[in-house]
Structure formats: C-alpha cells, structure tokens
Structure 1
Amino acid sequence: MAEGILDITDDTFETEVMNADLPVVVDFWAPWCGPCRAIGPIIEELSGTYNGKVKFVKCNVDDNPLSPSRYEVRAIPTLLFVKGGEIVDTITGMTAKAKLEETIGKLI
C-alpha cells in the first residue's frame, strides 16, 4: 500500500470513511483487476498532491464484500467521493487523471 493511502476493511469502513474529518476518496479494487492496477498509480499520485486535504483509502472487494454491497458497487474499479458522511460522487472504470482532479476539486 502506498504511503498516504489507508487500506480499509468492512470493519473499519464506517470509522475511516463515513466518520472522517476530511473528504474521502474510496477506491474499491481487487488485485486481479487490470483497470484497478492501471488507475492505482494515479490514485497514489493524487494522494500525495492532496495530502492533508483529502483522505485516500482502498477497499479490496474480495476480502471485504460487505462494504461494496452496502454502497451498491457493481463493477471495479469504483471510486466513491465522500464528504461529511455523504457520497457526493461516484466514478466507475478507468478514468483520466484530469477527471479525477476535477471531481476531487468539487469535494474540497
């Protein structure tokens, strides 16, 4: 796991995401998912760019099936953008860095 990106579980999702002080980007992923591996370095770069302004977390859907089910994640990668315990945006699939930056900009 990259520095600055927290690996979360079903048990820690509520505390780390919905009760977080900062806006949160949740990356639902799996190790076997090619697009997930492709977007990973972009997420890592953005976590450095927005360090202290946005919290970045990753949730492995294979190891943690409850959280993706609860938030209706139907495909991966899916990114949830959460602010104040509310999901404010969702992006599914491989996405350009510029689109991610635009969405994060609305979050902060």
Structure 2
Amino acid sequence: MRIQNNQNLQKKKNIITFYFENKKMEGLEGDTIASALIANGVFVFSYGRKTNRPRGYSCSTDFCDGSCQMTVDGIENVKTCSRRLEPEMKVFRKKVTHHEKL
C-alpha cells in the first residue's frame, strides 16, 4: 500500500525492477523488499513449517518471528521487512520440505 496524494511525499523516486519467483515486478527507490512486494499485491511471504498455513508480513520491526524471511539472491533467511530493495534482485519464498512440515 502506498500513500498516493500527499504533497509532503511527492518527491519523485526511481523505479527499481526486481523478480519475485521469476516474475518481473517494480518497486520504488527506498522500498524494503516487503513493501515492494505488498505494493505488487503479494501478501503471502512464507508458509508455516508445521501446518503449511500462509504467513504474511506482520511486524516491520526486524524483531519478529521471521514470517517475512525469504531467499534473496541465493541467500536464505533474509528479513524482507528491513532489507532495502535493489535493482534486479531475485526473491523467492522459502521452500518447505516434507520433513519440515511434520
């Protein structure tokens, strides 16, 4: 979600292209990965290990349960709530293995 019509926030920001699960998306300079995903309509960030239920963005404080953690440019467990978006990033939900689901 973005605030659209606030003159105090009208500073022009550069568009950043990134990829979420191989789908091309755009964010704005200064976005975190999580805020860019939400702006693109992505609300499921991970799945519970035991129940496989969808988990979303919850705290944005970097001191949470890790539900926003994803694999970014091959690095696992990146907290997307605090990591700034960079051009051409490749972001994936963590894969839950059968063993982890049990």
Q: TM-score, normalised by structure 2?
A: 0.28
* Structure of higher CA gyration radius: 2
- Higher helix proportion (structure 1 or 2): 1
Q: Which has the higher contact order (CA 8 A, sep 6+)?
A: 1
